[in-house]
Structure 1
């Protein structure tokens, strides 16, 4: 099958776009507002985009609480979503008024960052502390701004729970990372294999 996306007439029950672009890591973003309120929310449009410097990005459809806080304070955290925390991550995705503490709502421990004044999930196996480098509104082919807001941040500090360290490496079979698939589907990355680049 083929369909142009301007009409989006695919004949399926649901739009398949996000199912095709998967699995996607989940950016579980911790942030703090100017008013002192704290926020925790998952974003499926998230990824690392550079290693030197260490840069990450999350994108929100419209100006949501995490984007607002990151813009106001210039700081946020990215918390690792593992299988043992996935239900609590899901609770933190609930649509609630600004100022509601999703850490408390999800039964999670909020801890202040070492280098940023933004909260992180104390129970997470790994956390990235980030400072905002830029915020953009990507444009469509017509040049019009989309409804999305992309927040870029440089990682300035990293927390790692040594429970997932084995032989000097993070063991993803122990960490059991969760990724977003299409629709309401998730996947768990506990089956890990190595493959080395060929030498030509």
Structure 2
């Protein structure tokens, strides 16, 4: 195989592709994605637990995180009804349980109960967090934005709780968290090798030239 063969490009045009195939392409190139293990409570009091891989930080001040509901799933309906949710980190040790909570259980069934995930009370919101997750983020609903077939949910962070054993130098440490990430298709990843590098201030950059 020549260098030209390696760098030849295949083009994926959403205007010429159906939704499903292009969705799979996006999931395969926006990688790795952190997984928000979102817990919500319905108006009737049933707790829903589901992994969302469209999850990230949205704002620092005020602190806001976001996840996207593709379609109108239980997580979205519950947040709209109660205005609260938690996001627990998905640790490698709970790989199979995290995947199992993505099962399309009927509304009204608690994924955590059927999968065997232990929940515990949160500090500031009525929605529980995953007891065996080293970090959990407690949120109140800030706002939602509808984009086509999806809804972005923004949560105002009111508390972050972490295992004391996972905290060093004032912050949770990656070597203690061991998070999972989503890739394309049915592929997942672990953190693997962790590399560390300091950002170079521009004035230092000028001196090195």
Q: Answer whether contact 1:175 1:190 (CA < 8 A) is retained.
A: no
Q: Which structure's CA Rg is the greater one?
A: 2
- Who is 1:125 aligned against? 134
- Who is 1:30 aligned against? 39
2:161, 2:63 → 1: CA distance? 14
Q: Which runs of 5+ in 1 are unaligned?
A: 139-145
- Who is 2:101 aligned against? 92
Q: Answer whether contact 1:91 1:105 (CA < 8 A) is retained.
A: no
1:5 aligns with one of 14, 17, 20: 14
SS at match of 1:103: helix
2:70, 2:12 → 1: CA distance? 24
Does the alignment pair 1:115 with 2:99? Answer: no
Q: Answer whether contact 1:172 1:190 (CA < 8 A) is retained.
A: no
1:68 aligns with one of 60, 65, 77: 77
The TM-score normalised by the length of structure 2 is 0.86
Give the count of matched residue pairs.
191
- Who is 2:167 aligned against? 165
- Who is 2:158 aligned against? 156
SS at match of 2:28: helix
* Alpha-carbon distance, 1:170 to partner: 2.2
Tell me how large the CA RMSD over aligned residues is.
1.8
Q: Which moved more, 1:186-195 or 1:164-173?
A: 164-173
Superposition misfits of 4+ residues, deviation over 3 angstroms: 166-169
The TM-score normalised by the length of structure 1 is 0.90
* Alpha-carbon distance, 1:167 to partner: 4.2
More helix as a share of residues: 2
1:51, 1:190 → 2: CA distance? 27
Q: Which runs of 5+ in 2 are unaligned?
A: 1-9, 203-209
